[in-house]
Structure 1
Amino acid sequence: MLSLLLVLTTFARIHAHYTSGDVVYHTMPHFWTGVGFCPAGRIDHEGISSALSDPALRLNLRQIAALPVGAVTHIRIHWLLELIQFWQYDPSGIPIYDFSKFDDFIDFLHEELRLSPALEWMGNLGGVFSENPMQQSFYWEHLVKTTINHQIARHGSSRLANWRYETWNEPDLRGYNKLNFTAHTYLDYVQAVRRGLSKAGNLDNQDGKVPLPMYRSLRGPAGLFKDSNHPLCWNLLELCSQRVVYCPIDILTFHRKGIEGTATEIVNGSLSLMAKIYEEYPNLKQLPVANDEADPVAHWSTSREFQADVRYGITLISTVMQFWHAKLAEGALARLESISHDNAFLSYHPYEFTQRTLLAHFRMNETKPPHSQLVQKPVYAALGMLAKLGSRAADVELVNMDTKHSVQVLRTVSGGLGGPGQYMATIFLSPEEAGPKMTAFHHKYTLNMSIANESAFITELLLPKETDPYYIWRQEGSPAYPNATLREAMRRAQTPRLYKTGPIWQYNSELVINSASIPLPWAMLLRVCSASWPKLRRPQQLSIAEVTHREVFISWMEHPKSTQCLLSYEVWFKERDNLGRSADWMLISDGWHLPYPSFQYAPADKGSVNGFYKVRGVDVFNETSPYSQIVEYLEL
C-alpha cells in the first residue's frame, strides 16, 4: 500500500491578488507543446511517402494526438516537404508540383488529429534544386509561396494560422546539408524563404476585397552552433546582427540536448549558448528564442534504460520547470518562446521501450496480417500532467528533503479576479536520483483560494512500478509479442495513478504531504477546482480506429476550457450482432482510470467490436458531461 499522507485542514479566509503568501503569479504560455521526429527510410518522395503512410506510424501519431487538449500542439517532421512531388517544368521553366500526398498528410494532421505542422523548408524535390544551382534562390521563393497559397486555396488562411515555419534543420551537418550549401548560397536560400513567406497571399475574397497578405514568422537557423565548425548558422546570426530590422528570421531557434540525461544539462547548455550569442551579437536580444530539440541526450535510437520508465517522464517535467525558472530570471533565456522534444519516433525491436519515444511499439509479426501494438510510456503520461497546468504560474520553489535533495514545486492558477483563481494546479517533483537514506518529506502547502462556494481536489501520481508498463513487461520476461493479458496489464499502468480526491468546504486549506515511503523518482499533480469553474463539455469527434481484428483504438477531442476538473472518462459500447440486433449499453471502461481522451478496447472471449460507442466525462464533483455523439463501428 502506497503511503503518502495527504491531509487537508482549513484556515481563515485570506484575500490576495494572484499570490499565495509572497508568491507572485506570472502569465505562463504552455511553451513545451511541440514534438518531432524524422521518418525512417530513404529521403526522397517515395521513401518519405511510404514512411508517413505506414499504418503503425499513423497510429503512433493518433495516440500522441490523444493526449489531453493542449498537451501537444505542433509536430516537427524532418523532410516533410518531400511529400510534394515535382512533376515537370512549364514552358517558362517554372516547376509544377503535385501536392496530393502532402495534402493527404496535412489533412490527417489537421482534420483527424488537430495538430499543426512545424514545417521545415528542406528537401530537394525531384532534384529541382541540385539540378538548377543558379536558380535555387528563385525556386525556393516560388516553392514557399506556392505551397502556402495552395493550402490557402484549399482551406482558407485560418487553416494555417497556427503553423510554424522553419529554415533547413541543422544545415552545418553533412547528413542534413543535401544541397551542399556554402555560406553564400545558404544566406540566399534563407532570404528566398523569407520572400516566399512574405509574398504568399491571403486568397480569401470577402465582399469583393482582397485583404493584405498575412505576415508569417520564420524560425531559424535550427542549428547546433558548434563553434567555428558550424559557419552557416553563425553567418546568419552575423547578418541579422548587422541589420536586425532586415533579419530574415523572426525567432532564433537552436538545439541543445543534455549529455548524461538530465534536465539541468539541457537548460544550462541553452543558457550558455544564448549567453555566447548575445556576447557576440548583442543586437539579437530583440529576437524570441526557441530550443526545438530540448532532449535529455542525443541520438534517439540509442537504447537507454531511463528512457523506458518514470525517469524520462520526470526529466521532461523537470526540463519544463527549469526552463520556466530560467525565463523568469530575466537572463539569457528571458525571450524564450518555446521548447520542443524529439520523441515522436516509432520504436523498434528489441528496444520497444528504451528508445527516446513517447510510446512503446510492438510489431506483432505472428498475426495475420501483422499489426502494431502501442503502449503509452510514463513520459507520455508526464505530458498529460503538464497539460493540466493553469495559465498563470509562480516561479519554481525548492523544498528541502534532506541536506542534498530538494523537491521542485510549480504552482499554477487560472480564472478568478480577486484572488489566485478558481482553478489551481500544482506539480510536485521528486529528485531524479536520491540516496537510500532519504529523510521524510513533510511539506505544508497552502491552497490560498478565495472562493464563494465549495471546491474539490484531486491528486494523481506518476511513480515507479505502479505506473510503469516497462516494469510489468520485464516482470513477464520482456516478450517480443506480448499477449492480450499482458497488454491489458501494461495499459492499466500507463496513466497516472489516481490517489485521492475529495471536497474542500472552506476558503483556505493547508495540504500536508509526507512522501517518505514513496519510491523515487515520482511526480504528483494536485488540482483544485471551484464549483463555479466551467462544467465538463460534451466530448467531440469520437473516433474509432482499427488496431487489428477485434481490437480498436478509441479517441475523442476535449473542449479546451472544460477538462481541468475532469476525474476520468467513461466509454460505453452497445454491441450489434450479425442480425443487426443491439444489446444494452455496457460500460467497457469499468475499473479503468481514464484521465486522457483515449481507450483501447479488445473484448475477451471472442467478443465483437461491432456496434455503437459513446463517451462522457466525470468531474471531481461526480457530475457527468453530456454524452458524445454515438458512433457506429463495423469491422470489415
Structure 2
Amino acid sequence: RFRSLPVYNDEADPLVGWSKPQVWRADVTYAAMVVKVIKQHQDLLLGNPNSTINYTLLSNDNAFLSYHPHPFTQRTLTARFQVNNTHPPHVQLIRKPVLTVMGLLALLGDTQVLAQVLTSGGEHSDTLGVLASSHRPAVLGGSDSWQTAVLVYNSDDNSTSNHTDEVTVSLKGLAEQKGLVYVTYYMDNNVTNPYQLWQNMGCPDYPTAEQFRNIRNVEDPRVDGPFKVPAGDTLTLKAKLPVPSILLVHICAQPRAGPDQVNGVRFTGITEGQVLILWSDYCVASKCIKTFEVEFSTDKQKFRRINVKDTIFTSYVYSPVDQEVGGLYRVRAVDYWGRPGPYSLPERFSKTE
C-alpha cells in the first residue's frame, strides 16, 4: 500500500551531530564516504528492479556553516572563516573535498549501466566501489553528445590507511561511438586537501589573502586529458588508489557544435580587493567542458583571463595582489576539443557593491 509513497531521506549522514568536529569530515575521507553512500542507495533501492520503495531524495544534511575553531572538521560543504581583523570583518568560504566531489557526481549521466569490482581472485572488494552511467542527447546536432562516466572510489568509511590498491578500469561497448575523448578527475588526501595545507600554515584563525589564494589552489581534483580514446570497443586504464581516493573517467563523443553561452554572471563582494564571481551553465548544454574562462577588463576594450587554472566549477574568487577588482567581467565555456562558446554578456562590478 505504500509503494507509491515517495520516501525522502534528508538525514543520510553517517554520524549524528553536525557540529561535532571530526578530522575525517575535513578531507577526501568524507567525500569518498558520501560517494559510497550514494552508490549503496543507488544499487539497493533505485537501481534494483525488485525494490518496492519509491526512493525520491537522498541528502547528507551538510549544508551548515562551520564556526571557530573548527572551520573544516564539522559536517559542512565549505570551511567558513570569520575574519575579524579587517574593517569591516568579513567571511571567507573554502570548498571542501565533499563539495568538490559533488561537482564530479554532476558529470554522471542519467542512465545507470552495469559496473562491478572484482579482485584478482574473483572476489568482491570491501573498500572499492564503482558507479557507472551513460547519457544520450535528446536532440542531435547541438552542443550535447553521447557520454559515459565511471566513478571509482576507495573508501573504508571514516578510516584512512597507507594501503593502496592497483586498479584496472575497463570500459566496454565504445566501438559504435566516433570521435571519443576521455578526461580523468582524481582526488586523494595529497592532491585535494585544503585542510592539510591550512594545518601546514599553522592553522591561522585569520589567513592572509595570499594564504587564502594558496588554499583555494588545492580545492580542485587533479585533471588529466582530454586524450583520444584508442580505436576499438574497450578503453583500459590503470590507476593506484589509496584509502581514501576517488577517480572519475569521463568519455565524450564530439558534438557538432561547441558549447552554448554562459549566462547569469553576478557578484558577491567579499572584502576590500576581493570578489566572488558566479555564473550559470544552464544554457551551455554540455557536460564535456574543459574549463570556464573568466576574463576581466577595466576599460571595456581589452579583456584578460584571470583564472589561470582550469575549472569546471561555476564560481571563482578574484583576489589580485593589487586589489583592483572594479571593472567588467565575462565568462565563456571551452569544451574538451578546445572550442570556446560565446562569451556571457559583460557585467560590471563596482568596489562599492
TM (norm. structure 2) is 0.90
User: Aligned runs of 1:170-181 on 2, under 5 Å?
Assistant: none
Match of 1:600 in 2: 317
Q: Quick one: distance in 2 between partners of 1:614 and 1:435? A: 44
Structure-1 residue corresponding to 2:92: 373
Q: Given the superposition, is the C-alpha separation of residues 449 and 333 from structure 1 closer, same or farther in structure 2, using an over 3 Å criterion?
A: same
Task: Please state whether the residue corresponding to 1:508 is helix, strand or coil.
Answer: coil
Tell me, yes or no, if structure 1 residue 617 matches structure 2 residue 342: no
Q: Any residues of structure 2 matched to 1:45-444 within 5 Å, and which?
A: 283-327=1-45, 328-330=47-49, 334-395=53-114, 397-400=116-119, 405-415=126-136, 422-432=146-156, 433=159, 436=162, 438=164, 440-444=165-169
1:521 to partner: Cα distance: 0.8
Contact 2:162 2:243 in 1 (8 A): no
| Equivalent residue, structure 1, for 2:141 | none
What CA distance in whole angstroms lies between the structure 1 residues aligned with 2:115 and 2:11?
Answer: 22
CA distance in 1, matches of 2:153, 2:316: 27
Corresponding residue to 2:287 among 545, 564, 568? 564
Q: State the distance in 2 between where 1:401 and 1:482 align.
A: 47
User: Partners in 2 of 1:331 and 1:297 — Cα distance?
Assistant: 29
Q: Distance in 1 between matches of 2:319 and 2:136?
A: 40
Following the alignment from structure 2 to structure 1, what is the Cα–Cα distance between the partners of residues 163 and 193?
A: 24
1:588 corresponds to which of 287, 297, 306: 306
In the alignment, what sits opposite 1:574? 297
Give 1:601's aligned amino acid.
Answer: Y
Shift in Å, 1:512: 2.2
Unaligned runs of 5+ in 1: 1-282, 577-581
Displacement after TM superposition at 1:617 (Å): 1.1
Give the partner amino acid of 1:442. V
Taking a change above 3 Å as real, the CA distance of residues 347 and 416 of structure 1, as seen in their structure-2 partners, is closer
Could you report, residue by residue, the CA deviation over 1:64-100 in whole angstroms, capped at 9, with x for unpaired residues?
xxxxxxxxxxxxxxxxxxxxxxxxxxxxxxxxxxxxx
TM-fit CA distance, 1:405: 3.7
Cα offset, 1:560, TM superposition: 6.0
Specify the SS of the correspondent of 1:321: helix
Which residue does 2:235 correspond to in 1?
Answer: 510
Q: What SS class does the counterpart of residue 383 from structure 1 fall into? A: helix
Provide the alpha-carbon RMSD of the alignment.
2.2
More displaced 10-residue stretch of structure 1: 363-372 or 526-535: 526-535
Within-5 A mapping of 1:522-561? 522-532=245-255, 535-559=258-282
CA contact (8 A) 1:425 1:527 kept: yes
CA contact (8 A) 2:184 2:248 kept: yes
Distance in 2 separating the partners of 1:561 and 1:631: 18
Distance 1:509 1:437 in 2: 28
- After superposition, the Cα gap between the structure-2 partners of 1:422 and 1:484, relative to the gap in structure 1 and judged at 3 Å, is same
Q: Give 3-state SS (helix, strand or coil) of 1:314's partner.
A: helix
Distance 1:447 1:624, change over 3 A: farther
User: Which position in structure 2 is the counterpart of 1:521?
Assistant: 244
Count of aligned positions: 341
Structure with greater strand percent? 2
**Once the 2 structures are TM-superposed, how far is the Cα of residue 284 of structure 1 from its aligned partner?**
2.2
Contact kept, 8 Å, 2:108 with 2:133, in 1: the verdict is yes
Contact 2:262 2:284 in 1 (8 A): no
Residue deviations 1:324-354, cap 9 Å, x none? 0111335666421111121111110001000
Greater helix share, structure number: 1
CA distance in 2, matches of 1:452, 1:341: 36
Answering whether residue 226 of structure 2 is matched by residue 501 of structure 1, we say yes
- Per-residue deviation, residues 223-264 of structure 1 (Å, max 9, x unmatched): xxxxxxxxxxxxxxxxxxxxxxxxxxxxxxxxxxxxxxxxxx
Three-state SS of the structure 2 residue aligned to 1:628 is: coil
User: Using a 3 Å threshold, how does the CA distance of structure 1 residues 545 and 561 change in structure 2: closer, same or farther?
Assistant: closer
TM-aligned CA deviation for residue 549 of structure 1: 1.0
Tell me if the contact between 2:261 and 2:283 (Cα under 8 Å) persists in the aligned partners: no
- 1:469–1:434 CA distance, 2 compared to 1 (3 A): closer
Checking the alignment, whether the CA contact within 8 Å between 1:454 and 1:505 is kept in structure 2 is: no
Deviation string for 1:168-211 (max 9, x for gaps)? xxxxxxxxxxxxxxxxxxxxxxxxxxxxxxxxxxxxxxxxxxxx
Look up the SS of the partner of 1:342 in the other structure.
Answer: coil
Q: Can you list the C-alpha shifts for 1:303-338, whole angstroms capped at 9, x where unaligned? A: 111111111111111111110011133566642111
In the TM superposition, residue 358 of structure 1 has moved relative to its aligned partner by 0.3
Q: In the alignment, residue 151 of structure 2 is paired with which amino acid?
A: I
Q: Do the aligned partners of 2:229 and 2:235 also contact (CA within 8 Å) in 1?
A: no
Q: CA deviation at 1:437?
A: 5.0
**For the Cα contact (< 8 Å) 1:461–1:498, is it kept in 2?**
yes
- Select 2:202's aligned residue among 452, 477, 482: 477
Uncovered stretches (5+) of structure 2, i.e. residues with no partner: 139-144
Equivalent residues in 2 for 1:449-460, closer than 5 Å:
449-451=174-176, 453-460=178-185
Distance in 2 separating the partners of 1:352 and 1:459: 30
Counterpart-to-counterpart distance in 1, 2:79 and 2:252: 33
Structure 1's 286 and 435: CA in aligned 2 closer, same or farther, altered over 3 A?
same
Residues 340 and 500 of structure 1: CA distance in aligned 2, closer, same or farther (over 3 Å): same
Structure 1 residue 430, shift from structure 2 partner: 1.1
State the alpha-carbon separation in 1 of the partners of residues 327 and 160 from structure 2.
Answer: 50
Q: Which residue does 1:446 correspond to in 2?
A: 171
- CA distance in structure 2 between the aligned counterparts of 1:597 and 1:451, rounded to whole angstroms: 33
Q: Cα offset for 1:287?
A: 1.7
After superposition, the Cα gap between the structure-2 partners of 1:437 and 1:458, relative to the gap in structure 1 and judged at 3 Å, is closer
Query: 1:396 offset after TM fit, Å?
Result: 5.2
Structure 1 segments, 4+ long, off by >6 Å, are: none
Distance 1:340 1:434, change over 3 A: closer
User: What is the CA–CA distance in structure 2 between the aligned matches of 1:461 and 1:437, rounded to whole Å?
Assistant: 17
Q: Distance in 2 between matches of 1:556 and 1:567?
A: 16
Distance 1:384 1:560, change over 3 A: farther
How far residue 532 of structure 1 moved from its aligned partner, in angstroms, is 2.5
Alpha-carbon distance in structure 2 between the residues aligned to 1:312 and 1:436: 17
Determine which structure has more spread, i.e. the larger CA radius of gyration. 1
Q: CA 1:613 to 1:286, structure 2 compared with 1: closer, same or farther past 3 Å?
A: closer
Same amino acid, percent of matched pairs: 27
Classify 1:321/1:569 alpha carbon distance in 2 versus 1 (closer, same or farther; 3 Å).
Answer: same
Aligned CA distance change for structure 1 residues 550 and 479 (closer, same or farther; 3 Å): same
* Native 8 Å contact 1:293 1:342 kept in 2: yes
How big is the shift at 1:499?
2.4
CA shift at 1:449, angstroms? 2.1
Change (3 A) 1:284 1:534: farther
